[in-house]
Amino acid sequence: MNRLFIKFVFKMALRSMSIHKLRTALTILAITWSVATLVALRTVGVGIKARVSDEVNELLQADILIMERSLSIPEQVSYYIASIPHVKDSVGTIFIPAKIGKFKGVNLVGVPVSKIDFFNLEIINGSPPISDEAKEIIIDSDTAKALGITAPGTMVKVVINYGTVYFEGEFKVVAIMESRSFLSGLFGASFVVAPLKPIQEMLGREGFVNYIFIKIDDRKLINDVARAIKRNYPGADIVKQTDIVNVIIKVMDIIDGMLMAVTVIGLLVAALGVMNTVMMSIRERIREIGILKTIGAGGTHVLLIFLSEVIIMGVSGGVLGIVAGYSGSFILRDFVNSLGLAFEIPIFLVPEAFMLGFCVSLTVSILAALYPIYKAVKIRPIEALKIE
């Protein structure tokens, strides 16, 4: 098998493709579409997973959570936990659904004033409460917009209606924070922050909290710290930041799998297109096969003649699919965001997705062509020459 024959094979392939331009273009388009779908989904999926991890890190502001549905955790527990090795900070809070005004549902977070900085709130107007006793509140910009509040100083009614619990009180809005602050950006919910003591007094649970947010100095030690907390407080319901990320990513993997099923359908269509193109090409060139075999060409030579055409289409479709898929990932990102996703999806260059798309393109094209090429290889010269 010399270089001259290889050159001859590819010339024949290019000649056949140029003669049947429309058929070739449609086959390459089918391959391009399936590869582009795969690349776009993988690219956006990688971006979402990266963003989710970053959002949890930035917005949760805690490596470990201890939580109870009822207000049954003594506030002092947070101070004891702060003394555990590698615990950087620990904050006891009340975290409970509430309403601001008549209709606006929010998540109310009661925090000791000295620990408000723990949550890295992005204040855009006003300043945080300065007293643990003050009935003051920080609302996010979405809540402010819904209530028609443009500046601090407005009095609002806070209603806690949780199960059999019903309390209400008047609070002064002292600051407006970005809606992406705290947990809002990840879950798309509205959060408001108030000093802990007034919330405890409203609920009649002075000295008790239902959430403890914990930061550690080295996230590699998160499991060690969680075990230490469990040893000291066996009944504690502990949730690690890594657990939250893993649960979200598992859900996303299921969604990825469902979307990939759509890609598989596209690949099957592309495979059928390749198979049909090769079969038609063989039928039109069957006399050429007979002549080549008559002058000494073997089965391998015939295989290469048609396989070269398939490889060209597969490579072309793969390259175009990668370009279209990466470009399409921006369109897909905008579409997903338009459905109400609360954060912007970053788009990265994902070599793994590009390589997968290219390999799938080439592999599907070759596998789809093997059967018709096999039939061509098995044709006897005398049978081929009889066909008009």
CA dist list (Å): 39 to 11, 268, 274, 348: 31, 16, 20, 12
For residue 64, being part of any structural domain is answered with no
For residue 61, being part of any structural domain is answered with no
Q: Are residues 177 and 277 in the same domain?
A: no
The alpha carbon dihedral of 89, 90, 93, 97 has a sign of positive
For residue 340, being part of any structural domain is answered with yes
Q: Which two tokens stand for residue 297?
A: 């060409």
Q: Are residues 282 and 300 in the same domain?
A: yes
Which residue in 114, 256, 244 sits closest to 183, CA to CA?
244
For 99, list phi and psi in degrees, rounded to 5.
-125, 140
List b or e across 125-149, with b for residues whose CB sees 16 or more CB atoms inside 10 angstroms.
Answer: ebebbeeeebbbbbbbbbbbebbeb
Q: Are residues 223 and 107 in the same domain?
A: yes
Contact 285, 16 (CB under 8 A): yes
- The reported pLDDT for the residue numbered 52 is 72
For residue 62, being part of any structural domain is answered with no
Contact 172, 136 (CB under 8 A): yes
Domain boundary among 177, 204, 236: 236
Q: Are residues 13 and 85 in the same domain?
A: no
For residue 94, being part of any structural domain is answered with yes
- The reported pLDDT for the residue numbered 332 is 85
The Cα–Cα gap between 58 and 183 comes to 9
Contact 301, 294 (CB under 8 A): no
Q: Are residues 272 and 377 in the same domain?
A: yes
Q: Which two tokens stand for residue 89?
A: 């900070």
How many domains does the structure of the chain reveal?
Answer: 2
Dihedral (C-alpha) 240, 164, 206, 230: value to the nearest 10 degrees?
-30
Q: Are residues 192 and 286 in the same domain?
A: no
User: Who contacts 23 (Cβ-Cβ below 8 Å, separation ≥6)?
Assistant: 277, 280
Query: Within 13 A of 40's CA, how many CA atoms are on the CB side?
Result: 24
Contact 234, 152 (CB under 8 A): no
Domain boundary among 236, 261, 291: 236
- The reported pLDDT for the residue numbered 111 is 93
The Cα–Cα gap between 188 and 182 comes to 11
Q: Are residues 36 and 154 in the same domain?
A: no
- Residue 174 three-state SS: strand
For residue 156, being part of any structural domain is answered with yes
Q: Are residues 152 and 256 in the same domain?
A: no
- pLDDT tens for the chain, 388 residues: list them: 567 767 777 777 777 778 778 888 888 888 898 899 889 888 888 888 777 776 666 555 677 888 887 778 888 888 888 888 899 999 999 988 888 877 678 888 999 999 988 888 888 999 999 899 999 999 988 888 888 888 899 999 998 876 677 888 899 999 998 876 444 544 456 788 999 999 998 888 889 998 899 988 887 888 888 888 888 888 778 877 777 767 777 777 777 777 777 777 878 888 888 888 878 877 776 666 677 667 666 667 777 777 888 888 889 999 999 999 999 989 888 887 776 665 677 888 888 889 988 998 998 888 888 888 777 777 766 665 555 5
Q: Are residues 253 and 149 in the same domain?
A: no
Q: Which two tokens stand for residue 369?
A: 């062509």
The H or E element containing residue 220 is none
Q: Are residues 230 and 250 in the same domain?
A: no
Q: Are residues 188 and 307 in the same domain?
A: no
Domain boundary among 211, 236, 261: 236
For residue 269, being part of any structural domain is answered with yes
The H or E element containing residue 62 is none
DSSP 101-140: TTTEEEEEEEE-GGGGGGG---EEEE-----TT--EEEEE
For residue 302, being part of any structural domain is answered with yes
What's this model's pTM, rounded to 2 decimal places? 0.62
Q: Are residues 321 and 375 in the same domain?
A: yes
The Cα–Cα gap between 182 and 190 comes to 10
Range of the domain at 126: 69-236
